Amino acid sequence: MKATVDRDACVGCGLCESVCPNVFEMDSDSIAEVIADVIPPENEDCAIEAQDDCPVSAITVN
């Protein structure tokens, strides 16, 4: 699985980083970025949770 973040849509709330810190982090502009090229199997559930809970639907996991 891989994750992407629509940087134009991200509002920098930090939810994804708090839910799944091994996959997402906030950059110096407070915009989410993906830090895992491939989501480790043990982090797939939290990455999907971050996608589902993102208030602006900026995250895609597939």
Q: What DSSP string describes the chain? A: --EEE-TTT-----HHHHH-TTTEEE-TTS-EEE--SS--GGGHHHHHHHHHH-TT--EEE-
pLDDT in tens, 28-56: 999 999 999 999 999 999 999 999 999 99
CB atoms within 10 A of CB 20: 26
CATH of 3-61, one of 3.30.70.890, 3.30.70.20, 3.10.310.10, 3.90.580.10: 3.30.70.20
Pick from 3, 11, 7, 16: nearest CA to 56: 11
Q: What does R_g of the chain's alpha carbons equal in angstroms? A: 10
d(CA 61, CA 30): 20
The pTM score is 0.95
Instruction: Give the residue extent of every domain in the chain.
Output: 3-61
pLDDT of residue 58: 98
